[in-house]
Chains A and B, each alone.
Chain A
Amino acid sequence: MINNRRKFIKQSLLASLATSLGSNIVFGKNIPFGMELVGLSETTSSFPGKSELLSVLNDRPINIETPAHLLNDKLTPNDLFFVRNNGIPPVNIDPNKWSLEISGESAASNKTYSLNELKSNFENISYNITLECGGNGRKEFNPPAKGNQWTTGAVGCVKWTGVRLKDVLNDVGIKSDAVYIGYYGADSHLSGSPDKDAISRGVPIAKALEKESMIAWAMNDQDIPLLNGHPLRLVFGGYPASCSGKWLKKIVIRDQVHDGQKMKGSSYRTPCKPVAPGAKVNEEDMCIIENMPVKSLISYPKTGATINLDQQLPIAGHAWTSSKEITKMEYSIDFGMNWLACRLSKSDNKYAWQHFEAEVNFPEKGYYEVWARATDIDGNTQPMLLPGWNPKGYLNNACHRIAIKVL
Protein backbone atom coordinates (compact mmCIF):
# COMPACT_ATOMS: atom_id res chain seq x y z
CA MET A 1 0.00 0.00 0.00
CA ILE A 2 2.79 2.37 0.93
CA ASN A 3 4.44 1.59 -2.36
CA ASN A 4 1.19 2.04 -4.17
CA ARG A 5 0.73 5.42 -2.60
CA ARG A 6 4.18 6.57 -3.53
CA LYS A 7 3.63 5.35 -7.02
CA PHE A 8 0.31 7.12 -7.07
CA ILE A 9 1.76 10.45 -6.01
CA LYS A 10 4.65 10.10 -8.42
CA GLN A 11 2.29 9.35 -11.24
CA SER A 12 0.06 12.28 -10.45
CA LEU A 13 3.01 14.67 -10.38
CA LEU A 14 4.24 13.41 -13.73
CA ALA A 15 0.75 13.67 -15.11
CA SER A 16 0.39 17.21 -13.76
CA LEU A 17 3.61 18.41 -15.33
CA ALA A 18 2.95 16.69 -18.59
CA THR A 19 -0.55 18.03 -19.02
CA SER A 20 -1.11 21.39 -20.61
CA LEU A 21 -2.32 24.33 -18.62
CA GLY A 22 -5.97 24.41 -17.80
CA SER A 23 -6.72 20.74 -18.11
CA ASN A 24 -8.10 19.21 -14.99
CA ILE A 25 -5.91 16.77 -13.22
CA VAL A 26 -8.22 14.11 -12.01
CA PHE A 27 -7.12 11.33 -9.75
CA GLY A 28 -9.08 9.04 -11.99
CA LYS A 29 -6.41 9.33 -14.63
CA ASN A 30 -4.02 7.57 -12.37
CA ILE A 31 -6.17 4.68 -11.35
CA PRO A 32 -3.95 1.72 -12.05
CA PHE A 33 -4.89 -0.30 -15.09
CA GLY A 34 -7.11 -3.18 -14.11
CA MET A 35 -9.06 -1.25 -11.50
CA GLU A 36 -11.91 -0.68 -13.87
CA LEU A 37 -12.10 -4.33 -14.69
CA VAL A 38 -12.35 -5.08 -11.03
CA GLY A 39 -15.04 -2.45 -10.80
CA LEU A 40 -16.92 -4.03 -13.65
CA SER A 41 -16.81 -7.51 -12.22
CA GLU A 42 -18.08 -6.06 -8.98
CA THR A 43 -21.13 -4.76 -10.75
CA THR A 44 -23.82 -6.30 -8.68
CA SER A 45 -27.32 -7.30 -9.47
CA SER A 46 -29.62 -8.04 -6.62
CA PHE A 47 -31.08 -11.50 -6.41
CA PRO A 48 -33.68 -12.31 -3.79
CA GLY A 49 -32.17 -13.55 -0.55
CA LYS A 50 -28.62 -13.30 -1.87
CA SER A 51 -25.76 -11.00 -0.85
CA GLU A 52 -24.49 -8.50 -3.39
CA LEU A 53 -20.98 -9.66 -2.55
CA LEU A 54 -21.44 -12.89 -4.49
CA SER A 55 -19.98 -13.13 -8.01
CA VAL A 56 -22.52 -13.37 -10.78
CA LEU A 57 -21.42 -15.83 -13.48
CA ASN A 58 -24.67 -15.89 -15.35
CA ASP A 59 -28.00 -14.17 -14.92
CA ARG A 60 -30.10 -16.35 -17.20
CA PRO A 61 -30.19 -18.89 -15.70
CA ILE A 62 -28.97 -17.46 -12.40
CA ASN A 63 -25.56 -18.78 -11.43
CA ILE A 64 -23.71 -17.02 -8.63
CA GLU A 65 -20.74 -18.16 -6.61
CA THR A 66 -19.22 -17.24 -3.28
CA PRO A 67 -15.72 -15.71 -3.11
CA ALA A 68 -13.47 -17.96 -0.98
CA HIS A 69 -13.03 -15.44 1.83
CA LEU A 70 -16.82 -15.19 2.31
CA LEU A 71 -17.01 -18.90 3.08
CA ASN A 72 -15.22 -18.52 6.41
CA ASP A 73 -18.27 -19.27 8.58
CA LYS A 74 -18.54 -22.75 10.08
CA LEU A 75 -21.94 -22.98 8.42
CA THR A 76 -22.48 -20.89 5.30
CA PRO A 77 -25.05 -18.12 5.86
CA ASN A 78 -28.08 -18.49 3.57
CA ASP A 79 -27.40 -15.24 1.72
CA LEU A 80 -23.86 -16.38 0.90
CA PHE A 81 -24.77 -19.86 -0.35
CA PHE A 82 -24.06 -20.28 -4.09
CA VAL A 83 -26.81 -20.63 -6.69
CA ARG A 84 -26.71 -22.97 -9.65
CA ASN A 85 -29.98 -22.75 -11.56
CA ASN A 86 -30.65 -24.61 -14.78
CA GLY A 87 -33.98 -23.00 -15.54
CA ILE A 88 -36.33 -20.34 -14.30
CA PRO A 89 -37.40 -20.60 -10.64
CA PRO A 90 -41.14 -20.85 -9.92
CA VAL A 91 -43.03 -17.76 -8.77
CA ASN A 92 -45.84 -17.23 -6.26
CA ILE A 93 -44.92 -20.22 -4.14
CA ASP A 94 -47.45 -21.09 -1.44
CA PRO A 95 -45.88 -23.58 1.00
CA ASN A 96 -49.34 -24.38 2.40
CA LYS A 97 -50.43 -25.67 -0.98
CA TRP A 98 -47.16 -27.36 -1.86
CA SER A 99 -47.31 -31.10 -2.45
CA LEU A 100 -44.84 -33.85 -3.27
CA GLU A 101 -45.82 -36.81 -5.40
CA ILE A 102 -43.98 -40.13 -5.21
CA SER A 103 -44.55 -42.51 -8.11
CA GLY A 104 -42.63 -44.44 -10.79
CA GLU A 105 -42.40 -47.98 -12.18
CA SER A 106 -40.74 -49.27 -9.04
CA ALA A 107 -42.99 -47.52 -6.54
CA ALA A 108 -45.38 -49.96 -4.83
CA SER A 109 -48.02 -47.21 -4.73
CA ASN A 110 -48.53 -43.60 -5.75
CA LYS A 111 -48.72 -41.12 -2.93
CA THR A 112 -48.92 -37.37 -2.62
CA TYR A 113 -47.91 -35.56 0.56
CA SER A 114 -48.56 -31.98 1.48
CA LEU A 115 -45.59 -30.13 2.97
CA ASN A 116 -47.33 -30.22 6.33
CA GLU A 117 -47.89 -33.98 6.07
CA LEU A 118 -44.20 -34.49 5.39
CA LYS A 119 -43.36 -32.45 8.48
CA SER A 120 -45.79 -34.30 10.76
CA ASN A 121 -45.77 -37.86 9.39
CA PHE A 122 -42.04 -38.48 9.41
CA GLU A 123 -39.20 -38.03 11.86
CA ASN A 124 -37.70 -34.54 11.47
CA ILE A 125 -33.92 -34.56 11.21
CA SER A 126 -31.08 -32.08 10.76
CA TYR A 127 -27.66 -32.65 9.22
CA ASN A 128 -24.85 -30.29 8.29
CA ILE A 129 -24.26 -31.23 4.68
CA THR A 130 -21.84 -29.78 2.12
CA LEU A 131 -23.23 -29.26 -1.36
CA GLU A 132 -20.83 -28.65 -4.20
CA CYS A 133 -21.58 -28.17 -7.88
CA GLY A 134 -19.99 -30.88 -10.03
CA GLY A 135 -18.48 -28.12 -12.17
CA ASN A 136 -16.88 -26.18 -9.31
CA GLY A 137 -13.37 -25.23 -10.48
CA ARG A 138 -14.25 -25.63 -14.17
CA LYS A 139 -12.54 -22.33 -14.98
CA GLU A 140 -9.11 -23.88 -14.55
CA PHE A 141 -9.46 -26.70 -17.08
CA ASN A 142 -7.36 -26.48 -20.22
CA PRO A 143 -8.45 -26.83 -22.95
CA PRO A 144 -11.39 -24.93 -21.50
CA ALA A 145 -14.71 -26.66 -20.94
CA LYS A 146 -17.98 -25.02 -21.80
CA GLY A 147 -20.46 -24.00 -19.16
CA ASN A 148 -20.42 -21.71 -16.16
CA GLN A 149 -16.82 -20.90 -15.37
CA TRP A 150 -16.95 -21.60 -11.64
CA THR A 151 -13.76 -20.74 -9.80
CA THR A 152 -13.85 -22.06 -6.23
CA GLY A 153 -17.16 -20.82 -4.87
CA ALA A 154 -19.82 -23.31 -5.98
CA VAL A 155 -19.76 -24.92 -2.56
CA GLY A 156 -21.23 -24.35 0.88
CA CYS A 157 -22.19 -26.24 4.00
CA VAL A 158 -25.39 -25.53 5.90
CA LYS A 159 -27.64 -27.15 8.45
CA TRP A 160 -30.46 -28.80 6.52
CA THR A 161 -33.70 -29.74 8.26
CA GLY A 162 -36.25 -32.10 6.82
CA VAL A 163 -37.09 -35.79 6.67
CA ARG A 164 -35.14 -38.83 5.51
CA LEU A 165 -35.85 -39.64 1.89
CA LYS A 166 -35.78 -43.35 2.76
CA ASP A 167 -38.60 -42.93 5.32
CA VAL A 168 -40.80 -41.38 2.65
CA LEU A 169 -39.82 -43.92 -0.02
CA ASN A 170 -40.48 -46.79 2.39
CA ASP A 171 -43.89 -45.31 3.21
CA VAL A 172 -44.74 -45.47 -0.49
CA GLY A 173 -43.09 -48.86 -0.90
CA ILE A 174 -40.04 -49.68 -3.01
CA LYS A 175 -40.26 -52.63 -5.39
CA SER A 176 -37.29 -55.00 -5.49
CA ASP A 177 -36.43 -53.97 -9.07
CA ALA A 178 -35.80 -50.33 -8.12
CA VAL A 179 -32.43 -49.03 -9.34
CA TYR A 180 -32.70 -45.24 -9.32
CA ILE A 181 -34.78 -42.30 -8.16
CA GLY A 182 -35.39 -39.22 -10.28
CA TYR A 183 -36.82 -35.85 -9.33
CA TYR A 184 -38.97 -33.21 -10.99
CA GLY A 185 -39.09 -29.61 -9.81
CA ALA A 186 -41.33 -26.62 -10.34
CA ASP A 187 -38.71 -24.64 -12.26
CA SER A 188 -39.26 -24.18 -15.98
CA HIS A 189 -36.99 -24.62 -18.97
CA LEU A 190 -35.07 -21.52 -20.10
CA SER A 191 -36.76 -21.59 -23.49
CA GLY A 192 -40.09 -21.29 -21.68
CA SER A 193 -41.23 -24.52 -23.29
CA PRO A 194 -43.66 -26.33 -20.97
CA ASP A 195 -42.73 -29.66 -22.59
CA LYS A 196 -39.17 -29.46 -21.32
CA ASP A 197 -37.81 -29.84 -17.83
CA ALA A 198 -35.02 -27.48 -16.81
CA ILE A 199 -33.34 -30.36 -15.05
CA SER A 200 -34.51 -33.76 -13.80
CA ARG A 201 -31.72 -35.79 -12.31
CA GLY A 202 -31.44 -38.35 -9.55
CA VAL A 203 -29.31 -40.90 -7.71
CA PRO A 204 -28.95 -44.69 -7.48
CA ILE A 205 -31.43 -46.28 -5.06
CA ALA A 206 -28.65 -47.17 -2.60
CA LYS A 207 -27.70 -43.49 -2.35
CA ALA A 208 -31.35 -42.51 -1.92
CA LEU A 209 -31.61 -44.87 1.06
CA GLU A 210 -28.55 -43.49 2.92
CA LYS A 211 -29.47 -42.06 6.29
CA GLU A 212 -28.12 -38.60 5.38
CA SER A 213 -30.15 -38.38 2.14
CA MET A 214 -33.01 -36.05 2.84
CA ILE A 215 -35.96 -33.99 1.70
CA ALA A 216 -35.36 -30.61 3.29
CA TRP A 217 -37.47 -27.50 3.91
CA ALA A 218 -35.10 -25.48 6.06
CA MET A 219 -31.58 -24.16 5.70
CA ASN A 220 -29.87 -22.99 8.90
CA ASP A 221 -33.28 -23.06 10.67
CA GLN A 222 -34.79 -20.63 8.16
CA ASP A 223 -36.85 -21.16 5.03
CA ILE A 224 -34.66 -22.24 2.14
CA PRO A 225 -33.96 -19.15 -0.03
CA LEU A 226 -36.08 -19.04 -3.18
CA LEU A 227 -33.06 -19.51 -5.43
CA ASN A 228 -31.92 -22.56 -3.44
CA GLY A 229 -35.21 -24.41 -3.85
CA HIS A 230 -37.85 -22.99 -1.49
CA PRO A 231 -40.02 -24.55 -0.15
CA LEU A 232 -38.72 -28.11 -0.63
CA ARG A 233 -35.64 -29.79 -2.07
CA LEU A 234 -33.55 -32.92 -2.03
CA VAL A 235 -30.15 -32.98 -0.33
CA PHE A 236 -27.53 -35.62 -1.20
CA GLY A 237 -24.14 -35.03 0.37
CA GLY A 238 -21.07 -36.20 -1.54
CA TYR A 239 -22.78 -36.20 -4.96
CA PRO A 240 -22.81 -33.33 -7.47
CA ALA A 241 -25.29 -30.78 -6.13
CA SER A 242 -27.32 -31.14 -9.34
CA CYS A 243 -28.67 -34.43 -7.88
CA SER A 244 -30.26 -32.47 -5.04
CA GLY A 245 -33.35 -31.31 -6.89
CA LYS A 246 -34.87 -27.94 -5.97
CA TRP A 247 -38.54 -26.80 -5.84
CA LEU A 248 -39.24 -30.51 -5.45
CA LYS A 249 -42.65 -31.60 -6.82
CA LYS A 250 -42.24 -35.25 -7.72
CA ILE A 251 -39.94 -38.18 -7.07
CA VAL A 252 -40.03 -41.22 -9.33
CA ILE A 253 -38.68 -44.61 -8.24
CA ARG A 254 -37.25 -46.05 -11.43
CA ASP A 255 -36.51 -49.60 -12.60
CA GLN A 256 -33.75 -48.15 -14.78
CA VAL A 257 -31.23 -45.34 -14.54
CA HIS A 258 -33.30 -42.15 -14.55
CA ASP A 259 -33.37 -40.61 -18.03
CA GLY A 260 -34.56 -37.08 -17.19
CA GLN A 261 -33.13 -33.79 -18.44
CA LYS A 262 -29.34 -33.59 -17.93
CA MET A 263 -29.00 -37.27 -17.02
CA LYS A 264 -27.94 -38.28 -20.52
CA GLY A 265 -25.47 -37.09 -23.13
CA SER A 266 -22.42 -35.53 -21.54
CA SER A 267 -24.17 -33.63 -18.73
CA TYR A 268 -22.72 -34.41 -15.30
CA ARG A 269 -20.66 -37.16 -16.86
CA THR A 270 -16.93 -37.77 -17.19
CA PRO A 271 -15.13 -40.17 -19.53
CA CYS A 272 -15.46 -43.76 -18.27
CA LYS A 273 -11.76 -44.22 -19.14
CA PRO A 274 -9.16 -41.44 -18.69
CA VAL A 275 -8.57 -39.36 -21.81
CA ALA A 276 -5.90 -36.92 -23.02
CA PRO A 277 -6.64 -33.19 -22.64
CA GLY A 278 -8.83 -32.01 -25.48
CA ALA A 279 -9.83 -35.52 -26.56
CA LYS A 280 -13.16 -36.02 -28.29
CA VAL A 281 -15.23 -38.45 -26.27
CA ASN A 282 -18.33 -40.18 -27.61
CA GLU A 283 -21.43 -39.93 -25.48
CA GLU A 284 -21.56 -43.69 -24.93
CA ASP A 285 -18.10 -43.48 -23.36
CA MET A 286 -19.22 -40.94 -20.76
CA CYS A 287 -20.25 -42.19 -17.29
CA ILE A 288 -22.48 -40.51 -14.70
CA ILE A 289 -20.59 -38.77 -11.88
CA GLU A 290 -21.42 -40.22 -8.50
CA ASN A 291 -19.07 -39.52 -5.57
CA MET A 292 -17.30 -36.17 -5.56
CA PRO A 293 -13.55 -36.04 -4.78
CA VAL A 294 -11.86 -34.85 -1.59
CA LYS A 295 -11.36 -31.10 -1.52
CA SER A 296 -10.55 -28.11 0.66
CA LEU A 297 -10.69 -24.33 0.60
CA ILE A 298 -8.71 -21.61 2.39
CA SER A 299 -11.34 -19.14 3.58
CA TYR A 300 -9.06 -16.93 5.68
CA PRO A 301 -7.31 -14.73 4.86
CA LYS A 302 -8.52 -13.40 1.54
CA THR A 303 -5.89 -13.84 -1.14
CA GLY A 304 -3.57 -10.83 -1.51
CA ALA A 305 -2.82 -10.32 2.19
CA THR A 306 0.33 -8.37 3.03
CA ILE A 307 1.94 -8.90 6.44
CA ASN A 308 5.21 -8.08 8.15
CA LEU A 309 8.00 -10.58 8.58
CA ASP A 310 7.60 -10.54 12.38
CA GLN A 311 3.95 -11.53 12.09
CA GLN A 312 2.50 -14.99 12.09
CA LEU A 313 -0.25 -15.58 9.55
CA PRO A 314 -3.31 -17.41 10.83
CA ILE A 315 -5.04 -19.42 8.11
CA ALA A 316 -8.40 -21.18 8.22
CA GLY A 317 -10.71 -23.08 5.94
CA HIS A 318 -12.77 -26.18 5.37
CA ALA A 319 -12.26 -29.65 3.91
CA TRP A 320 -14.86 -32.13 2.67
CA THR A 321 -15.11 -35.55 1.09
CA SER A 322 -17.71 -38.04 -0.08
CA SER A 323 -16.05 -40.74 2.01
CA LYS A 324 -16.44 -40.97 5.78
CA GLU A 325 -14.24 -38.11 6.92
CA ILE A 326 -11.16 -35.98 6.37
CA THR A 327 -8.29 -37.28 8.47
CA LYS A 328 -5.38 -35.01 7.51
CA MET A 329 -5.08 -31.39 6.53
CA GLU A 330 -1.80 -29.80 5.48
CA TYR A 331 -0.45 -26.57 4.07
CA SER A 332 2.67 -25.68 2.12
CA ILE A 333 4.37 -22.32 1.54
CA ASP A 334 7.04 -23.72 -0.79
CA PHE A 335 4.91 -25.18 -3.58
CA GLY A 336 4.72 -28.63 -2.05
CA MET A 337 8.33 -29.27 -1.07
CA ASN A 338 7.26 -29.31 2.56
CA TRP A 339 3.77 -29.92 3.95
CA LEU A 340 2.93 -28.90 7.50
CA ALA A 341 -0.04 -30.11 9.54
CA CYS A 342 -3.13 -28.00 10.26
CA ARG A 343 -5.42 -28.48 13.23
CA LEU A 344 -8.54 -30.23 11.98
CA SER A 345 -11.98 -30.38 13.56
CA LYS A 346 -14.05 -33.55 13.82
CA SER A 347 -16.89 -34.06 11.40
CA ASP A 348 -20.36 -33.15 12.73
CA ASN A 349 -21.82 -35.93 10.59
CA LYS A 350 -20.99 -37.56 7.29
CA TYR A 351 -20.80 -34.94 4.46
CA ALA A 352 -20.37 -31.99 6.85
CA TRP A 353 -17.28 -30.04 5.99
CA GLN A 354 -14.53 -30.00 8.63
CA HIS A 355 -12.66 -26.88 9.65
CA PHE A 356 -8.90 -26.40 9.70
CA GLU A 357 -6.58 -23.78 11.16
CA ALA A 358 -2.86 -23.15 11.32
CA GLU A 359 -0.38 -20.38 12.07
CA VAL A 360 2.07 -19.84 9.25
CA ASN A 361 5.60 -18.50 9.72
CA PHE A 362 7.51 -17.13 6.78
CA PRO A 363 11.31 -17.46 6.73
CA GLU A 364 12.04 -14.22 4.87
CA LYS A 365 10.43 -11.32 3.06
CA GLY A 366 8.91 -11.95 -0.32
CA TYR A 367 6.06 -13.41 -2.33
CA TYR A 368 4.46 -16.62 -1.11
CA GLU A 369 1.55 -18.85 -1.92
CA VAL A 370 -0.15 -20.85 0.79
CA TRP A 371 -1.45 -24.11 -0.65
CA ALA A 372 -3.83 -26.39 1.24
CA ARG A 373 -4.28 -30.15 0.84
CA ALA A 374 -6.82 -32.46 2.45
CA THR A 375 -6.61 -36.23 2.76
CA ASP A 376 -9.57 -38.42 3.67
CA ILE A 377 -9.82 -41.64 5.65
CA ASP A 378 -9.50 -43.69 2.47
CA GLY A 379 -6.20 -42.00 1.63
CA ASN A 380 -7.63 -39.91 -1.20
CA THR A 381 -5.92 -36.54 -1.49
CA GLN A 382 -5.80 -33.46 -3.71
CA PRO A 383 -3.50 -32.94 -6.70
CA MET A 384 -1.53 -29.70 -7.03
CA LEU A 385 -2.06 -29.71 -10.79
CA LEU A 386 -5.45 -30.13 -12.41
CA PRO A 387 -6.87 -33.65 -12.12
CA GLY A 388 -7.88 -35.65 -15.19
CA TRP A 389 -9.15 -33.47 -18.01
CA ASN A 390 -12.73 -34.17 -19.05
CA PRO A 391 -14.78 -32.55 -21.80
CA LYS A 392 -17.28 -30.80 -19.49
CA GLY A 393 -14.77 -29.70 -16.86
CA TYR A 394 -16.10 -31.51 -13.79
CA LEU A 395 -14.43 -32.62 -10.56
CA ASN A 396 -11.54 -30.18 -10.31
CA ASN A 397 -10.26 -30.81 -6.79
CA ALA A 398 -6.80 -29.29 -7.27
CA CYS A 399 -5.35 -27.67 -4.13
CA HIS A 400 -6.64 -24.19 -3.35
CA ARG A 401 -3.95 -21.51 -2.94
CA ILE A 402 -3.77 -17.90 -1.83
CA ALA A 403 -1.11 -15.28 -2.50
CA ILE A 404 0.70 -13.59 0.43
CA LYS A 405 3.33 -10.84 0.53
CA VAL A 406 5.68 -10.58 3.47
CA LEU A 407 7.27 -7.15 3.92
Chain B
Amino acid sequence: MDNRQFNTEPLWKMFMFIVNIFIAGVLLLFGYFVLEKPIQDYINQPSYSAEQLEEMTRNRAIQRSKERSENWDLVEKGIHLKTGLKADPNLQIVIGACTSCHSAKLITQNRATRSGWKNMIVWMQKTQGLGDLGYNEPIILDYLAKHYSPKEVGRRASLDPEAIEWYILNLDQ
Protein backbone atom coordinates (compact mmCIF):
# COMPACT_ATOMS: atom_id res chain seq x y z
CA MET B 1 0.00 0.00 0.00
CA ASP B 2 1.24 3.46 -0.87
CA ASN B 3 1.50 6.02 1.93
CA ARG B 4 -0.33 8.75 0.03
CA GLN B 5 -3.15 6.46 -0.75
CA PHE B 6 -3.25 5.33 2.84
CA ASN B 7 -3.60 8.96 3.99
CA THR B 8 -6.19 10.24 1.54
CA GLU B 9 -8.64 7.31 1.62
CA PRO B 10 -10.23 8.07 5.05
CA LEU B 11 -10.61 11.69 3.94
CA TRP B 12 -12.33 10.62 0.74
CA LYS B 13 -14.57 8.23 2.67
CA MET B 14 -15.49 10.91 5.14
CA PHE B 15 -16.30 13.31 2.31
CA MET B 16 -18.53 10.72 0.62
CA PHE B 17 -20.15 10.00 3.96
CA ILE B 18 -21.08 13.67 4.41
CA VAL B 19 -22.31 13.93 0.82
CA ASN B 20 -24.44 10.81 1.33
CA ILE B 21 -25.93 12.19 4.52
CA PHE B 22 -26.65 15.44 2.73
CA ILE B 23 -28.35 13.63 -0.19
CA ALA B 24 -30.30 11.46 2.22
CA GLY B 25 -31.35 14.61 4.09
CA VAL B 26 -32.51 16.27 0.88
CA LEU B 27 -34.37 13.13 -0.16
CA LEU B 28 -36.01 12.88 3.23
CA LEU B 29 -36.99 16.53 3.14
CA PHE B 30 -38.33 16.11 -0.40
CA GLY B 31 -40.16 12.94 0.60
CA TYR B 32 -41.60 14.76 3.55
CA PHE B 33 -42.98 17.53 1.35
CA VAL B 34 -44.43 15.08 -1.12
CA LEU B 35 -45.85 12.62 1.34
CA GLU B 36 -46.80 14.83 4.26
CA LYS B 37 -50.38 15.44 3.22
CA PRO B 38 -51.27 11.90 2.23
CA ILE B 39 -49.66 10.56 5.37
CA GLN B 40 -51.40 13.13 7.52
CA ASP B 41 -54.65 12.32 5.75
CA TYR B 42 -54.12 8.66 6.47
CA ILE B 43 -53.21 9.25 10.10
CA ASN B 44 -56.05 11.67 10.61
CA GLN B 45 -58.47 9.49 8.73
CA PRO B 46 -61.35 9.35 11.18
CA SER B 47 -62.57 5.85 11.86
CA TYR B 48 -66.13 5.90 10.69
CA SER B 49 -68.73 3.42 11.71
CA ALA B 50 -70.59 1.57 9.00
CA GLU B 51 -73.62 3.78 9.62
CA GLN B 52 -71.59 7.00 9.34
CA LEU B 53 -70.02 5.80 6.14
CA GLU B 54 -73.41 4.97 4.75
CA GLU B 55 -74.72 8.36 5.72
CA MET B 56 -71.74 10.11 4.14
CA THR B 57 -72.18 8.31 0.85
CA ARG B 58 -75.90 8.97 0.99
CA ASN B 59 -75.39 12.68 1.64
CA ARG B 60 -72.95 12.81 -1.19
CA ALA B 61 -75.46 11.14 -3.50
CA ILE B 62 -78.17 13.57 -2.43
CA GLN B 63 -75.80 16.48 -2.94
CA ARG B 64 -75.09 15.26 -6.45
CA SER B 65 -78.79 14.89 -7.18
CA LYS B 66 -79.32 18.46 -6.01
CA GLU B 67 -76.48 19.76 -8.14
CA ARG B 68 -78.00 17.90 -11.03
CA SER B 69 -81.46 19.33 -10.57
CA GLU B 70 -79.98 22.82 -10.42
CA ASN B 71 -78.19 22.27 -13.70
CA TRP B 72 -80.75 20.04 -15.24
CA ASP B 73 -80.58 21.26 -18.81
CA LEU B 74 -77.00 20.07 -18.99
CA VAL B 75 -75.59 16.80 -20.19
CA GLU B 76 -73.53 14.81 -17.75
CA LYS B 77 -71.95 11.43 -18.40
CA GLY B 78 -73.95 11.13 -21.58
CA ILE B 79 -77.28 11.79 -19.87
CA HIS B 80 -79.44 14.85 -20.49
CA LEU B 81 -80.18 15.85 -16.90
CA LYS B 82 -83.56 17.44 -17.49
CA THR B 83 -85.11 14.39 -19.13
CA GLY B 84 -82.79 11.55 -18.18
CA LEU B 85 -82.51 10.66 -21.88
CA LYS B 86 -79.21 9.59 -23.42
CA ALA B 87 -77.39 12.45 -25.11
CA ASP B 88 -77.36 12.35 -28.90
CA PRO B 89 -77.19 14.84 -31.78
CA ASN B 90 -80.87 14.11 -32.44
CA LEU B 91 -81.97 14.33 -28.82
CA GLN B 92 -83.96 17.53 -29.25
CA ILE B 93 -86.06 15.95 -32.00
CA VAL B 94 -86.91 13.09 -29.64
CA ILE B 95 -87.69 15.45 -26.78
CA GLY B 96 -89.92 17.54 -29.00
CA ALA B 97 -91.86 14.60 -30.40
CA CYS B 98 -92.24 12.49 -27.27
CA THR B 99 -92.23 14.51 -24.09
CA SER B 100 -94.97 16.98 -24.90
CA CYS B 101 -97.46 14.16 -24.25
CA HIS B 102 -95.74 11.90 -21.75
CA SER B 103 -92.84 11.68 -19.34
CA ALA B 104 -89.39 10.84 -20.69
CA LYS B 105 -89.37 8.13 -18.04
CA LEU B 106 -91.69 6.18 -20.32
CA ILE B 107 -88.76 5.98 -22.73
CA THR B 108 -85.91 5.52 -20.28
CA GLN B 109 -87.53 2.65 -18.38
CA ASN B 110 -88.52 0.74 -21.53
CA ARG B 111 -86.46 -1.38 -23.90
CA ALA B 112 -87.44 -2.49 -27.40
CA THR B 113 -86.04 -3.24 -30.82
CA ARG B 114 -86.51 -0.73 -33.63
CA SER B 115 -89.67 -2.52 -34.77
CA GLY B 116 -90.86 -2.72 -31.16
CA TRP B 117 -90.52 1.07 -30.83
CA LYS B 118 -92.23 1.46 -34.19
CA ASN B 119 -95.18 -0.57 -32.86
CA MET B 120 -95.44 1.76 -29.86
CA ILE B 121 -95.53 4.79 -32.13
CA VAL B 122 -98.27 3.15 -34.20
CA TRP B 123 -100.17 2.35 -31.01
CA MET B 124 -99.89 5.96 -29.83
CA GLN B 125 -101.05 7.17 -33.23
CA LYS B 126 -104.01 4.80 -33.23
CA THR B 127 -105.16 5.25 -29.66
CA GLN B 128 -103.47 8.24 -28.02
CA GLY B 129 -103.83 11.00 -30.59
CA LEU B 130 -100.21 11.09 -31.76
CA GLY B 131 -99.90 12.65 -35.23
CA ASP B 132 -97.71 11.70 -38.19
CA LEU B 133 -94.04 12.12 -37.24
CA GLY B 134 -93.04 12.68 -40.88
CA TYR B 135 -89.34 12.71 -41.68
CA ASN B 136 -88.57 12.72 -37.97
CA GLU B 137 -89.88 9.19 -37.50
CA PRO B 138 -86.79 7.32 -38.78
CA ILE B 139 -84.57 9.70 -36.80
CA ILE B 140 -86.54 8.99 -33.63
CA LEU B 141 -86.59 5.24 -34.28
CA ASP B 142 -82.83 5.22 -34.86
CA TYR B 143 -82.31 7.07 -31.59
CA LEU B 144 -84.55 4.69 -29.62
CA ALA B 145 -83.09 1.54 -31.17
CA LYS B 146 -79.56 2.82 -30.58
CA HIS B 147 -79.99 3.81 -26.94
CA TYR B 148 -82.92 1.77 -25.63
CA SER B 149 -82.72 -1.70 -27.09
CA PRO B 150 -83.35 -4.84 -25.03
CA LYS B 151 -80.77 -7.00 -23.29
CA GLU B 152 -81.09 -10.78 -23.35
CA VAL B 153 -81.84 -12.04 -19.82
CA GLY B 154 -83.37 -15.47 -20.48
CA ARG B 155 -86.49 -16.77 -18.77
CA ARG B 156 -85.67 -14.88 -15.57
CA ALA B 157 -82.80 -12.55 -14.73
CA SER B 158 -80.59 -13.36 -11.74
CA LEU B 159 -80.54 -10.98 -8.81
CA ASP B 160 -77.56 -8.70 -9.25
CA PRO B 161 -75.45 -8.86 -6.06
CA GLU B 162 -73.54 -5.75 -7.22
CA ALA B 163 -76.73 -3.72 -7.42
CA ILE B 164 -78.01 -4.73 -3.99
CA GLU B 165 -77.44 -2.34 -1.10
CA TRP B 166 -75.96 -4.68 1.50
CA TYR B 167 -76.54 -3.83 5.15
CA ILE B 168 -76.12 -5.47 8.54
CA LEU B 169 -79.50 -6.59 9.82
CA ASN B 170 -79.88 -5.74 13.48
CA LEU B 171 -81.74 -8.65 15.04
CA ASP B 172 -81.38 -7.62 18.68
CA GLN B 173 -84.65 -5.75 19.02
Contacts and interface: CB of A to CB of B under 8 A. Distances in A.
Interface of A: 1-2, 4-5, 8-9, 12-13, 16-17, 19, 21-22, 25, 27-28, 31-32, 34-36, 38-40, 42-43, 56-61, 140, 142-144, 146-149, 190-191, 193, 196, 265, 301-307, 311-314, 367, 369, 384-386, 398, 401, 403, 405
Contacts of B168: 1, 305-307
Nearest to B129: A191
Interface in B41-98: 41-42, 45, 48, 50, 53, 56-58, 60-62, 64-65, 68-69
B165 to A, nearest CB: 5
Interface in B119-173: 120, 123, 126-129, 150, 152-157, 159, 161-169, 171
Nearest to A39: B61
Interface stretch (B4-12, B13-21, B105-113): B105-113
Nearest to A18: B38
Given A59-B103, A60-B103, A35 B42 contact: no
**Which are the 10 A-B pairs with shortest beta-carbon distances?**
A39-B61, A16-B38, A1-B50, A305-B169, A60-B103, A304-B164, A149-B109, A385-B155, A144-B111, A304-B166
Q: What bracket does the count of chain B residues touching chain A fall in?
A: 35 or more
Contact of A314 (B58, B65, B171): B171
Contacts, number: 151
B129 to A, nearest CB: 5
Contacts of A2: 50
Given A193-B129, A403-B159, A39 B41 contact: no
Most chain B C-beta atoms within 10 Å of own C-beta, residue among A17, A32, A193, A313? A17
A35 B61 CA distance: 7
Nearest to A305: B169
A334 B68 CA distance: 43
Contacts of A312: 171
19 contacts: A1-B50, A1-B168, A31-B61, A39-B62, A39-B64, A40-B65, A58-B109, A60-B103, A144-B111, A144-B150, A146-B120, A148-B109, A149-B110, A190-B101, A303-B159, A306-B166, A312-B171, A384-B156, A386-B156
A386 B105 contact: no
A31 B60 CA distance: 9
Contacts of B64: 36, 39-40
Nearest to B172: A311
B1 interface: no
Nearest to A267: B127
